[in-house]
Chains A and B, each alone.
Chain A
Amino acid sequence: MNTKFSVVIFVAAVSLAATHVVRAQGQAPAQTAKPVTTLTSPVTGNAVTGKKLYYDHACYSCHGFNGETGARPFVPNWPANLATERSFTAFLRGRANIAPVQPSTSMPNYPVESVSDAQAKDIYAYIRSFKSAPPPVEKIPVMSQILAAAKKPYKQ
């Protein structure tokens, strides 16, 4: 198998984040809503079912297993598309008409035949269970060591 060089470009591009949605020719304009750090909208889906769906549909491949790593993390800076169940479902559906043939910056489309409305709510419930609480840099000894090493004088 040969790996494509466009990989990194593509990876960098696949996104849930509305701020990263790229406008395809003649298609919907990019959204510009700002991300939020706290979501309070109602959650009605089943997170346990949603976890299986998150894995089955390989959502983790771009967003990490916890939503905070990978090509397009969304925790803790939640994009506007994840503000509510409704906006999330609409976002999943809205990809069909803007997905170009070439690998691009868009995430896959999820039509109702692939992910039902109820399943979308379950996935949303699982996503909303993600909590990101990494320690601050100064509380991570390794990171303090990295910073300290960088401050040492350069030795040839």
Chain B
Amino acid sequence: MPKSSKLAVNRRGFLKGAATAAAGAAAIATHVPESVDAQTQPAVGGRPNTPAPPPTTTQLERDAGAVRPPAGGNARAAVRPGSDLMVQVLRDLGIEYVAANPGSSFEGIQESLINYGNPPNVMPEFITALHEESAVTMAHGYGKATGKPMCALLHGTIGIQHAAMSIYQAYYDKTPALLIAGRDLGFIAAHSANDMAGMVRSYTKWDATPKTIEESLVAIQRAYNEAITPPCAPAMVVIDIDLQKEEAGAIKVPAYQPPKISGVDPGQAREIAKSLLDAQNPRIAVGRLRTPDGVRLAVQLAELVGASTSTSATQGPMSFPQRHPLCGPGANTSYDYTLGLEQPGTVSLTGPSLATLLSRDPTNIGFGGIAPGVSRAGGAGRGGRGAGAPGRTVDIDAEASLPAIIDEVRRQMSPDKQRVIQERSAKHATANQTARIDALTRALEQRRAGWDASPISTARVYAELWPLIVDEDWILASPSNFSGAHNAQLWDHNKPYNYLGGQGAGGMGYGAPASVGAALAAKGRKQIVINVQTDGDLNYAPGVLWTAQHHQLPMLTVMHNNRAWHQELMFVEYMCGVRGRGTERGHIGTTLRDPFIDYRMMAASYGMAGEGPITDPVKLGPALKRGLASVKKGMPYMIDVITQPR
């Protein structure tokens, strides 16, 4: 097994030094075009900076994945490196993208990603991230938009720790993600550890550190399966650099076997189907399912039995279409049987919670909402079971149960029942449409307040956006809870991916990278992504804007720029008042002023087109139209809007 023999230098320093050396060497050997030379600015001390040479045509083609690996390969250290097989496994799993900030511990996998296969760098495509937290949050956003994992590569101990916050959020959000961490025991000691996955074990679902190429291939497949099996969550494989570089020889890629996710047994399916069909006014309460297929099945079941439904589509992805004729209170709100699909009901089918993974928290960190008795806030949170659910709970995944229930409904159906169901469905459709229009009329009346105000009301931002996207295939990837959540009342969330919901664990720095992840999903599906971006949130890792521009992603960012961490401002103001010491200093540490941040300029520095800051509400609509025109051409756009606080 070959061993690395690199100098033990700091990773960032090493990369910076290498780049500087390369640039210096290139400056000597390469003709620097006049236009580039003219940009040279004197550095402090009077010495000119040496500009990096522009990329060659070959380099640009290589970056774009348009170069095939060299034929023959006799000069290569390994003819069939282990990492080629690892990438083949990712391909077989249908992984579309691998996001990473470059790291030496996975250079073998990275080289295979960009050079292996024909064409290389496609399915999966390497996505350049500027921070590991961004890479994993991209996977988080992608996972919520599609219901399947994206992959993120992490470099050693430092990459995992940079990514930790994002892993934590995806875990709380029960979102699948495939994480591969590189380990290089022969390089920088501080970047390696015996048990690297241990750093995030208490908030990942599964991990492995395989010892051979064969084990690595199986482990990647297993991690994928663990991630998509409820409770869905990130899973991690730590792969030594030596395994990536090692000659694989005749090792074969194992055939992939998808997981078997259990649903209700035939007896339970029979009972549920009978209850739905015998009820005079059945209802189906639909929470967050796992995949778009689950949503399709829920619609099928509701239509079969003529049940009115509730939806969580205004809170997050993978729920019942909001405008479906059966979605709403229905013609009669006295329900005699409610089937809960990941929601409370007379009978509730509820998949395993994150509490079932507590054995992965052996030191009892005890995360709130998952571990029992931790939070004073009450309830079990997203990760737990939820408190006070009436009726009977069947601890089994709802989505996996739907096919058997649908089969049973069909088997028990009679012409008489069908006739009743049709009549009931028609009544529900009329009542639900009336209820929807009534609710919308009230919502519009409320949201016209401050319509012409400057700074611009957040309601106007959402109201102006909706007519522009209503006929598009759209994803609202940013959480709207800090921006008034106006989409919930004004927009219709009919696709499983229309609204991706909150941050997972309420952590900041989520909106933009999650939107980039959603935009990766959107890119090949002719969809567009809307990112109503709070200003405090963007400043955690704004480099993700560069990723959007570099990969030409269809993402419209509309700043909800209230120039503060506004919630915290209110908290501190409140505390000042409680203590009676004056509120006039409540802005200290809670506001983003002196100077204000110019987000159009920020975007421009990453190469992204945009405009603003906009304070005149009349100018908002035209700006949004320009932004959407850009996004529909596949180019991201930034509009900085100065808004009311909420």
**B70-92 contact mask (Cβ, 8 Å, vs A): 1 or 0:** 00000000000000000000000
Task: Contact check, A4 vs B453: say whether CB atoms are below 8 A apart.
Answer: no
**A120-155 contact mask (Cβ, 8 Å, vs B): 1 or 0:** 000000000000111111001011011101110010
Which of A32-40, A80-88, A103-111 lines the interface with chain B? A103-111
Cα separation A107 to B578 with both chains bound (whole Å): 9
Tell which of B448, B453, B467 touches A64, judged by Cβ atoms closer than 8 Å: B453
Cα separation A154 to B407 with both chains bound (whole Å): 26
Task: Contact check, A108 vs B574: say whether CB atoms are below 8 A apart.
Answer: yes
- The residue on B at minimum CB distance from A107 is B577
Question: Please, which residues of chain A bring their CB within 8 A of the CB of B453?
Answer: 64-66, 68-69
Task: Contact check, A68 vs B444: say whether CB atoms are below 8 A apart.
Answer: no
Question: Please, which residues of chain B bring their CB within 8 A of the CB of A140?
Answer: 448, 451, 463
Task: Contact check, B450 vs A66: say whether CB atoms are below 8 A apart.
Answer: yes
Asked if B430 is at the interface (CB within 8 A of a chain A CB), the reply is no
Task: Contact check, A58 vs B583: say whether CB atoms are below 8 A apart.
Answer: yes
Contact status of A108 and B576, CB under 8 A, knowing A61-B570, A142-B463, A154-B323: yes
Tell which of B377, B458, B505, B580 touches A69, judged by Cβ atoms closer than 8 Å: B458
Cα separation A47 to B621 with both chains bound (whole Å): 32
Q: Which of B515-560 contact A (CB under 8 A)?
A: none
Q: Which of B423-447 contact A (CB under 8 A)?
A: 436-437, 440-441, 444-445, 447
Interface centre among B452, B576, B583 (most CB of A within 10 A): B583
Asked if B464 is at the interface (CB within 8 A of a chain A CB), the reply is yes
Which of B49-57, B305-313, B561-569 lines the interface with chain A? B561-569
Task: Contact check, A58 vs B444: say whether CB atoms are below 8 A apart.
Answer: no
Interface centre among B321, B325, B470 (most CB of A within 10 A): B470
Q: Which of B447-481 contact A (CB under 8 A)?
A: 447-455, 457-459, 463-464, 466-467, 470, 481
- The residue on A at minimum CB distance from B586 is A58
Q: How far is the CB of A50 from chain B (nearest CB, A)?
A: 14
Tell which of B455, B457, B507, B577 touches A3, judged by Cβ atoms closer than 8 Å: B507
Task: Contact check, B463 vs A143: say whether CB atoms are below 8 A apart.
Answer: yes
Task: Contact check, B569 vs A58: say whether CB atoms are below 8 A apart.
Answer: yes
Task: Contact check, A154 vs B324: say whether CB atoms are below 8 A apart.
Answer: yes
Asked if A60 is at the interface (CB within 8 A of a chain B CB), the reply is yes
Tell which of B299, B440, B455, B580 touches A65, judged by Cβ atoms closer than 8 Å: B455
Asked if B494 is at the interface (CB within 8 A of a chain A CB), the reply is yes
Q: How far is the CB of A19 from chain B (nearest CB, A)?
A: 16
Cα separation A135 to B440 with both chains bound (whole Å): 17
Cα separation A61 to B507 with both chains bound (whole Å): 21
Q: How far is the CB of A148 from chain B (nearest CB, A)?
A: 9
Q: Which of A1-59 contact B (CB under 8 A)?
A: 1-8, 10-11, 14, 56-58
Task: Contact check, B506 vs A2: say whether CB atoms are below 8 A apart.
Answer: yes
Contact status of A154 and B325, CB under 8 A, knowing A5-B506, A114-B584: yes
Asked if B267 is at the interface (CB within 8 A of a chain A CB), the reply is no
Cα separation A134 to B321 with both chains bound (whole Å): 32
Number of A-B contacts (CB under 8 A): 181
Contact status of A146 and B440, CB under 8 A, knowing A3-B507, A95-B577, A101-B578: yes
Task: Contact check, B437 vs A151: say whether CB atoms are below 8 A apart.
Answer: yes
Tell which of B436, B449, B492 touches A73, judged by Cβ atoms closer than 8 Å: B449
Q: Which of B486-500 contact A (CB under 8 A)?
A: 490, 492, 494
Q: How far is the CB of A55 from chain B (nearest CB, A)?
A: 9
Task: Contact check, A109 vs B451: say whether CB atoms are below 8 A apart.
Answer: no
The total of chain B residues at the interface (CB under 8 A) is 62
Task: Contact check, B450 vs A114: say whether CB atoms are below 8 A apart.
Answer: no
Q: How far is the CB of A9 from chain B (nearest CB, A)?
A: 9
Asked if B107 is at the interface (CB within 8 A of a chain A CB), the reply is no
Task: Contact check, B645 vs A60: say whether CB atoms are below 8 A apart.
Answer: yes
Task: Contact check, A135 vs B580: say whether CB atoms are below 8 A apart.
Answer: no
Question: Please, which residues of chain A bring their CB within 8 A of the CB of B377?
Answer: 5-6
Question: Please, which residues of chain A bring their CB within 8 A of the CB of B621?
Answer: 142
Contact status of A108 and B577, CB under 8 A, knowing A68-B449, A69-B453, A134-B451: yes
The total of chain A residues at the interface (CB under 8 A) is 58
Task: Contact check, A69 vs B644: say whether CB atoms are below 8 A apart.
Answer: yes
Asked if A90 is at the interface (CB within 8 A of a chain B CB), the reply is no
Cα separation A61 to B570 with both chains bound (whole Å): 6
Q: How far is the CB of A37 from chain B (nearest CB, A)?
A: 13
Task: Contact check, B452 vs A134: say whether CB atoms are below 8 A apart.
Answer: yes
Cα separation A143 to B465 with both chains bound (whole Å): 11
Q: How far is the CB of B487 from chain A (nearest CB, A)?
A: 11
Cα separation A21 to B377 with both chains bound (whole Å): 22
Q: How far is the CB of A62 from chain B (nearest CB, A)?
A: 6
Asked if B361 is at the interface (CB within 8 A of a chain A CB), the reply is no
Task: Contact check, B566 vs A61: say whether CB atoms are below 8 A apart.
Answer: yes
Tell which of B436, B444, B582 touches A113, judged by Cβ atoms closer than 8 Å: B582
Tell which of B447, B466, B567, B577 touches A149, judged by Cβ atoms closer than 8 Å: B466
Cα separation A70 to B578 with both chains bound (whole Å): 21
Task: Contact check, A61 vs B565: say whether CB atoms are below 8 A apart.
Answer: no
Q: Which of B577-607 contact A (CB under 8 A)?
A: 577-578, 580-584, 586-587
Question: Please, which residues of chain B bring their CB within 8 A of the CB of A101?
Answer: 578
Asked if B11 is at the interface (CB within 8 A of a chain A CB), the reply is no
Q: How far is the CB of B588 from chain A (nearest CB, A)?
A: 11
Q: How far is the CB of A10 from chain B (nearest CB, A)?
A: 7
Q: How far is the CB of B276 from chain A (nearest CB, A)?
A: 22
Cα separation A103 to B571 with both chains bound (whole Å): 8
Asked if B646 is at the interface (CB within 8 A of a chain A CB), the reply is yes
Task: Contact check, A114 vs B444: say whether CB atoms are below 8 A apart.
Answer: no
Contact status of A137 and B444, CB under 8 A, knowing A10-B570, A99-B578, A142-B467: yes
Question: Please, which residues of chain A bring their CB within 8 A of the CB of B587?
Answer: 58
Question: Please, which residues of chain A bring their CB within 8 A of the CB of B32?
Answer: none
Cα separation A143 to B443 with both chains bound (whole Å): 10
Contact status of A150 and B492, CB under 8 A, knowing A69-B450, A137-B445: yes
Interface centre among B436, B492, B577 (most CB of A within 10 A): B577
Asked if B214 is at the interface (CB within 8 A of a chain A CB), the reply is no
Q: Which of B276-324 contact A (CB under 8 A)?
A: 299, 321, 323-324
14 contacts between A and B (CB under 8 A): A1-B568, A2-B508, A57-B583, A65-B454, A65-B644, A101-B578, A109-B577, A111-B580, A113-B580, A135-B451, A142-B467, A150-B492, A154-B324, A156-B494
A residues near B (Cβ < 8 Å) are: 1-8, 10-11, 14, 56-58, 60-62, 64-66, 68-71, 73, 75, 95-96, 99-101, 103, 106-111, 113-115, 132-137, 140, 142-143, 145-147, 149-151, 154, 156
18 additional contacts, CB 8 Å, given A61-B645, A69-B646, A133-B452?
A1-B568, A2-B506, A6-B377, A14-B574, A65-B644, A66-B644, A68-B453, A69-B453, A73-B450, A99-B577, A113-B581, A135-B448, A140-B451, A142-B464, A143-B447, A146-B463, A149-B466, A154-B323
Across the A-B interface, the 9 shortest Cβ-Cβ residue pairs: A108-B577, A114-B582, A145-B467, A134-B451, A69-B450, A109-B577, A68-B450, A99-B578, A134-B448
